[in-house]
Structure 1
């Protein structure tokens, strides 16, 4: 009898804040999907710093998510975005 493998935390659906939904669309969706859509938005709008590819130069919508219009390191971006995500299972309780 095969045991069902528990999905990873990254694949668990999350609820997206209204601010972030303006960029990635309405949730719930997996964290990996949020990240993919966020990067699609960044690339489509040419928000990656051409000289220092690690930095993101947010436009008005992204600045609302990050809480600042200042450039941000892509590795710090994750913590800012995670504040806009809630566990979808908890959101329905």
Structure 2
């Protein structure tokens, strides 16, 4: 299992960095977590801990989360969420990296003079 995880990190270091890099949180997540900066992974862990601490999993189906008012604010106002959807719903709060970085890193072509 550890070898598999190490291989995944080696194969996709940028994806791992996106998960663990600290970012400025939008106001909804800032209010929920009480922090101004957190990684995507850290944010997911906080949400999961909140769900477990407040016993928000459906007793008859543990893969369903029954959202309270505080959780609804960050999960698009939904009353129930499937656990498989949780990472995607949290990811929506994080801005995508600017395409400008890709443009800046491309080699520039020499301008042609007439």
Whether the TM-score (by the shorter chain) exceeds 0.5 is yes
Ranked by relative contact order (alpha carbons within 8 Å, sequence separation 6 or more), the top structure is 1
Aligned equivalents of 2:32, 2:50: Cα separation in 1: 7
Residue 88 of structure 2 is aligned to residue 76 of structure 1: no
Greater fraction strand: 1
Greater fraction helix: 2
Shift of 1:52: 0.9
* Higher-Rg member (1/2): 2
Cα-Cα RMSD: 2.2
Deviations 1:23-81 (A, max 9, x none): 22223211111111111111111111111111111110111111123211011122221
Shift of 1:13: 1.4
Structure 2's unaligned 5+ residue stretches are: 1-12, 99-114
Aligned residues: 85
> Is contact 1:15-1:29 (8 Å) kept?
yes
Structure 1's unaligned 5+ residue stretches are: none
